[in-house]
Amino acid sequence: MAKVAVLGYGTVGSGIVEVIKTNQELINQRVGDEVDVKYILDLREFPGDPYEDMIVHDVNVIMDDPEVTIVCEAMGGIGAAYQFTKTALSKGKSVCTSNKALVAEYGPELLALAKENHCSYLFEASCGGGIPIIRPLQTCLLQEQVVALKGIINGTTNYILTKMELEGADFETVLKDAQSLGYAEANPEADIEGYDVQRKIAILSSLAFGNTVFYKDVPTEGITKITIDDFKYMKQLKATIKLLGMSRYEDGKYFAMVAPFVLTKESPLYNVSDVMNAILVTGNTLGDSMFYGAGAGKLPTASAVVSDVIECAMNPGKTIKGTWKPEKLELSDLSDAKRRFFVRIANANEEAVKVAFGHVQMLEPVYDGEVAFVTDVMTERSYKDIASAFDVVNMIRMDS
Ligand code: HSE
């Protein structure tokens, strides 16, 4: 019998209980044992809730109960969640979580603690919501040298960009929608400034490349500078704008970044819209493999947490083997990365742009006095040097 405690009865926590209760029989059958929720920890009361009798306010009730072998941490943040996770692991209770902030900050330490105590720290739901990606990276793709990861891994920003493009809706209104649908982080700055993707790509890259990519080392730009006008130019380019998290391994060097990119219809990520997420993994012998699904939201995220619960229940007293080692992975400078750039410049003319940037693909300006174009392939360093002489309204990198 595997008794589960859920820490935090918010969106994800209540989803975890719902998934386990909805599929209880099927889960028990597949695990070959009974898996059930024994406690729900929350500071609040939930009068009338069907699982009201499981609510406890004192975490020690859970930590001191030897019957509880699996703890789902759905509190978020890196304060109490970190302390409770450490306590649970040091008592040999496996912890399953969707808390990417905690995983990105303390992953190696918590994985080591789990190993020491013959239990597991699992976080399938931390990247890509309901998409199975963490486990595939650590099982089905073990034979591969991953050479690139490229993903739309934030549901909130993908939802916002999709609505801006298709409905011409303004940023603030769509953000409110995303929050009311339960996609956004408590502080939406993490979504719109790209910090959420920064953590997720750091986690995925650590798993794919084997050593720790520290999220703060990943250069990150969010979507706050993207406007409806940028999307008007996208129509001319038959393209769209997506916030991408990416990392790659090339000539013995590792690179990572988070930024909005222009994607043309040829990209397999072009049609990934609304809250959906997708991660394109390129292996040296496999080639491309894309993982697609609901990237945020109560039940998809909870479903991924419950997949971890099942893995723990099937492996009592064991540590599930992983690929993430604590040694730091050094990321190389992106200044030499080569690509094309979509650029909008104010107070300039076509001639001046051509003299400075060389051959460019000019676009029809949506404003008088603005020049918009796509450069030829150049390094980030060259782009910055040349662009510094102009009044740049916006620049978005071309994905290919
Ligand atoms: N705020 C996150 C997102 C939740 O929008 O993707 C899932 O990690």
Q: Residue range 139-153: average pLDDT? A: 98
Active site residues: 200
Q: What's the gap in Å between 15 CA and the centre of ligand 1? A: 15
If pLDDT is split at 50, 70 and 90, which confidence band does 184 have? confident
How many CA atoms within 13 Å lie on the side-chain side of 208?
28
More confident residue, 173 or 90: 90
Question: pLDDT tens digits, residue range 37-51?
Answer: 999 999 999 999 999
Q: Is the beta carbon of 196 within 6 A of some atom in ligand 1?
A: yes
Rounded to whole angstroms, how far apart are CA atoms 103 and 12? Answer: 16
Same domain, 125 and 195: no
Which residue range forms the structural domain that includes residue 103?
2-129+298-313
Strands 94-97 and 287-294: unpaired
Report the CATH number at residue 257.
3.30.360.10
User: Looking at residue 52, what is its pLDDT?
Assistant: 97
Domain boundary among 294, 326, 360: 294
| Ligand 1 site, residue 14, Cβ cutoff 6 A | no
Distance 120 CA to ligand 1 centre (A): 24
The verdict on residue 321 lying in a domain is no
**Weakest-pLDDT range from 31-35, 58-62, 68-72, 184-188:** 184-188
Nearest residue by C-alpha to atom 4 in ligand 1: 296
∠ CA 273-291-278, rounded to 5°: 30
Domain termination residue (choose one: 278, 313, 348)? 313
Ligand 1 atom nearest to 158, measured from its CA:
5
Is 296 a pocket residue for ligand 1 (Cβ < 6 Å)?
Answer: yes
Any domain includes 391: yes
Residue with tokens 């009338």: 48
125 Cβ contact partners less than 8 Å away, ≥ 6 residues apart: 12, 96, 97, 98, 301, 302, 304, 305, 308
Task: Give the mean pLDDT of 194-199.
Answer: 98
Q: Are residues 190 and 90 in the same domain?
A: no
Whether the CB of 183 sits within 6 Å of ligand 1: yes
- Give the total number of structural domains in the chain: 3
Scored b (16 or more CB within 10 A) or e, 12-39 reads bbbbbbbbbeebeeebbeebeeebebbb
For residue range 95-131, list pLDDT tens digits in order. Answer: 999 999 999 999 999 999 999 999 999 999 999 999 9
Predicted confidence band of residue 294 (pLDDT cuts 50, 70, 90):
very high
Residue in 159, 191, 242 to alter for ligand 1 test, most ligand atoms within 8 A of Cβ: 191
Task: State pLDDT tens for residues 324-362.
Answer: 999 999 999 999 999 999 999 999 899 999 999 999 999
* Ligand 1 and 101: CB distance under 6 A: no
**CA 154–ligand 1 middle distance (angstroms):** 5
Nearest C-alpha neighbor of 120 from the set 327, 305, 329, 328: 305
Please report whether residue 319 resides in a domain: no
Q: Which amino acid is at 146?
A: V
Enter the tokens of residue 283: 């292996």
Question: 156 and 67, same structural domain?
Answer: no
The pLDDT of residue 186 is above 80: no
| CATH number of residue 376's parent domain | 3.30.70.260
Q: State if residue 154 touches ligand 1 by the CB under 6 angstroms criterion.
A: yes
